[in-house]
A and B are shown apart, each in its own frame.
Chain A
Amino acid sequence: MNMWKTLIAAAALGAVSTAALADGHTVRMGTEGAYPPYNFINDAGELDGFEIEFGNMLCEHAKLDCTWVKNDWDSIIPNLVSGNYDVIMAGMSITEERDQVIDFTQGYIPATFSFYVAPAGAKLDLTSPDTVIAAQVNTIQAGHVAASGATALEFATPDETVAAVKNGEADAVLADDDYLKPIVADSGGELEVVDQVRLGGGVGLGIRESDAELRAKLDAAIAHFKASGELNALLAKWFKDDAPQW
């Protein structure tokens, strides 16, 4: 038995030779880093955005020692449940489907509109199977397109969904209004908003179901910033005019 334990110890220590004397617990925050203004990589190559700033405020208020981790959107939930990080803060809408696998805190961004954006002047029937609508895979919008009757075309990143509309591969894109607004404004009239729909229960922090203690701490911190008005101020800072407010 002892021999066996020594062997395991050698293997385990060989993998990572760090002392097992960690006293403080660091909360690892997982995000995507490809979804401005929620989270993105800035010119300096660092994570930036509304969620990074608000997440740091939450950690400070809840007296948590936090560190950010970048993870691909596709595997963001599997890596949370297997313990590679403790929190998902990546513009993730609270949905019934996700709530069965992980838990959510209360929302920190109210349920917002999702926009259908298409090339200017296009006449589209958004519920016809002849209309191809691009959306990011595993998102609330992708689910909505699939249920709406239109043909869904899914992409791994939000950026590719917009590119698909620009190059004619898709007729329209369905994504969060906050993501699409600057793109439409920046397109010089090439793109326009053709319809909008309100989806989901707002954006919340995703937490493992077994992690009730952490959820309570972060919930309390969110409530604090909602009450103090600081959350609204921060939303106005990042989402500019007609920012969602509490």
Chain B
Amino acid sequence: MNFSCADPQSLDGLNWLLCYLSTGKHVAFYWSFLTVIALMCATVIPAMILGMAGALAKRSAIPPVRWIGSGYTTMVRGIPEILFFLFVPIAMDQLIELARHSLFCPDWDQPIWRGNDFIVCDAAKAPLDTAPAWQHEFYGFGLAVTSFAITFGAFAANILDGALRAVPKGQIEAAQAVGMSRRQIFLRVEVPQMWVYALPGLSNLWMILIKATPLLFLLGIEDVVYWARELGSRTNPQFSDYPHGDWRAWYFSALMVFYLLLTWVSQMGFDRLSARVTRGMAVAR
């Protein structure tokens, strides 16, 4: 490269574009793709654990456990996600700060709620006011993963519950006939066979999760859609070395390609998984 990005006005064509696409703002945009993918991957395991727990609770022989299971899935699936995301992270944050407050500041004598204000002592802040920015970001990310896991766990619970019910009764009776315990039947007969029935539903859920990431900005996490809007909007010569008009259509087109690619790769993954779990099973092809 025999040009410098120090004076963008002197550049044109491809050189200008290269400099434009490598500004700090664009680097932040590129990182946000990783944030989104990391968040989705981090959500899968806790969501599946919550889903399995919810499904087992719904199938439990003990009524109170069953009530908890149905309560969880009904409540979470019924609340609009945007409300859920405005409420749950702030509530979780306040609960954590309350717990830390009672622990670190036992001598605090002022009220915690004053009018509209929620005030805990400095040492109870999560993260601390003095903590570096990455800790705040990591904490926000944790709250986001937890919120996503709770929401998507409720949907997964219903899918897994349905899949467990779909395992043919004859299989279970045969397992009882050879003297397996309930636990053995569950682990060796029901779980391996339910995946066939669960996978289509779970793949739907994954696709919905992919598209739900713009909700992240409600939690202060800058996702791809936030940056596309920020970068694509008209910039003024007074505030940027790279003034341009409304380029949002270009940025959103790039996002479309990203989302389609993600969907395509996911579909291939699910196809492979599906081939794997149906091995040796009598399913129509």
Residues of A participating in the B interface, judged by any CB pair closer than 8 Å:
5, 8-9, 11-12, 15-16, 18, 20-22, 24-28, 34, 36-37, 40-46, 48-49, 65, 67, 69-72, 74-75, 78-79, 81-84, 86, 101-102, 157, 159, 162-163, 166, 182-183, 186, 208-211, 240
Q: Is the beta-carbon distance between A81 and B116 smaller than 8 angstroms?
A: yes
A24 to B129, CA, bound (A): 9
- Minimal beta-carbon separation of A168 from chain B (angstroms): 14
Interface contact A83-B119, CB-CB below 8 Å: yes
Q: Residues of B with Cβ closer than 8 Å to A? A: 23-28, 86, 90, 93-94, 96-97, 99-100, 102-104, 114-120, 122-123, 125-131, 133, 135-136, 139, 142, 217-218, 220, 222, 229-230, 233-234, 236-243, 246, 248
Q: Quick check: A186 and B236 within 8 Å, CB to CB?
A: yes
B24, B86, B230: the one contacting A46 at CB < 8 Å is B24
What are 23 inter-chain pairs, A to B, with CB distance below 8 A? A8-B99, A15-B96, A16-B128, A16-B131, A18-B131, A18-B135, A20-B104, A22-B123, A22-B129, A26-B130, A27-B129, A41-B25, A42-B240, A43-B23, A44-B23, A67-B133, A75-B218, A81-B118, A83-B97, A83-B120, A84-B93, A182-B236, A208-B119
Interface residue from A15, A36, A102 paired with B239 (Cβ < 8 Å): A36
> Once the chains bind, are A43 and B25 in contact (CB under 8 Å)?
yes
Complex-state Cα separation, A12 to B100, whole angstroms: 6
Decide: A15 and B139 in contact? CB cutoff 8 A: yes
Q: Which residue of A lies closest to B226 (CB)?
A: A72
A20 to B102, CA, bound (A): 13
Specify which chain A residues have a CB less than 8 angstroms from the CB of B119 in the assembled complex. Answer: 83, 208, 210
Q: A15-B96, A83-B117, A209-B117 are in contact. Are A43 and B123 (CB under 8 A)?
A: no
- Of A36, A72, A82, which is within 8 A of B220 by CB? A72
Q: Which residues of A contact B103 (CB under 8 A)?
A: 5, 8-9, 12
Taking A43-B23, A44-B23 as known contacts, 12 extra A-B pairs with beta carbons closer than 8 A to each other, sorted by chain A number, are: A20-B100, A20-B123, A25-B122, A25-B130, A49-B239, A70-B222, A71-B220, A74-B218, A83-B125, A84-B93, A163-B246, A209-B116
A63 to B57, CA, bound (A): 56
Kindly report which residue of chain B lies nearest to residue A82, judged by CB atoms.
Answer: B118
Q: Give the residues in chain A near B115, CB-CB below 8 Å.
A: 209-210
A16 contact set on B, CB distance < 8 A: 96, 126-128, 131, 135, 139
Contacts of B100 in A (CB 8 A): 12, 20
A93 to B267, alpha carbons, bound, how many Å?
50
